[in-house]
Amino acid sequence: MQCYDEASIQSLFQQVTDRFGAINILLNTWTGTEIPHLLSPTSITDFNLIMQKSAASFFIFGKVAAEFMQYQPHQSVIINLALSHENHHPHTPTTSKTVVSGLTQNWANELASLNIRVGGIVPINLQDKHHEQHTIVNVPMQDEIARNVEYIVRNDSFNGRMLESEIGV
């Protein structure tokens, strides 16, 4: 059973810190789905469920990471990754992209004075066929995301912005 309450996540971060030392990079993944249509009969229930499952855990991980990172003598980075099953539509704004972009910009402004940068990545699959139908992110996209993570970590001026990871047709 997955447990995403704040106390459990704080305990997890403390265990990681105790075992490996300071946490200075978090890859925080939003795995939400699209919000329901406004006029669907179950839209309110569906929306609340999506926000409870996806947004709450994403937000808690970001909050707890920032609490641990704020006292580090070196710069830290939170990288927000917007994943959803809808990432294969390249020109349609998704809930994942919108939510993660907004939180990335807000957190970057809030955490800048604490020496914590925040960047974001949105994978966009432009390929005609999916390599692995059972996964959200196929292997070529995983490689592209890893390159983007490295770019954000190495680029000290990258803060409050989003990258779109694309793999070609």
**CATH code for the domain in which residue 144 is found:** 3.40.50.720
pTM of the model: 0.84
Mean pLDDT score of the chain: 84
pLDDT, greater one: 94 or 151: 151
Over residues 130-169, the pLDDT tens digits come to: 444 545 567 888 899 999 999 999 999 999 999 987 765 4
Nearest alpha carbon to residue 168 among 140, 148, 134: 140
In a domain, 146, yes or no: yes
What integer pLDDT is reported at residue 142 of this predicted model?
86
User: How many other C-beta atoms lie within 10 A of the C-beta of residue 42?
Assistant: 10
144, part of any domain = yes
Residue 1 lies in a domain: no
Distance CA 29, CA 32 (A): 9
Q: What is the mean pLDDT of residues 33-62?
A: 86
**Contact predicate 126/166, CB 8 Å:** yes
The predicted structure's pLDDT at residue 168: 56
Q: Is the CB of residue 118 less than 8 Å from the CB of residue 77? A: yes
Task: Supply the range of the domain harboring residue 133.
Answer: 6-167
Cα–Cα distance measured from residue 29 to residue 79, given in angstroms and rounded to the nearest whole number:
8
Residue 61 has pLDDT above 90, yes or no: yes
Q: Is residue 39 part of a domain?
A: yes
